[in-house]
Amino acid sequence: MLITFLTSVVLVASVLLVLSNLGTVADDTSKAVRSAVHRIRAQGGAASWVAFAVLWLTIFALGLL
C-alpha cells in the first residue's frame, strides 16, 4: 500500500510539473518539429519520412484498439 501511495504521489507530481510548464513544452515541441521538417525538406526524402511517421502512427493506433 505504501508503494502504491508513493507511485501515485510521483505520478501526480509529474503531471503537475508538466502542466505548470505546458507553454514551454509546447514551444520546445513546435521548435523541434519545425527543425525536423526543415532538415527533411533540405535533405530531400520527405516521402520516406512521411511513410515512416504514418507507419508508427498506424502501429500506435492499432495498439489502442
Domain count, the chain: 1
pLDDT tier at 22, thresholds 50, 70, 90: confident
pTM over 0.95: no
Write out the residue range of the structural domain in which residue 30 sits. 2-64
Give the pLDDT of residue 44. Answer: 77
pLDDT digits (tens, 9 = 90+) for 44-60: 777 888 889 899 999 99
Does pLDDT of 15 surpass 80? Answer: yes
Task: Please state, in angstroms and as integers, the Cα–Cα distance from residue 25 to each residue in 12, 14, 20, 21, 28, following that order.
Answer: 18, 13, 10, 6, 5
Does pLDDT of 16 surpass 80? Answer: yes
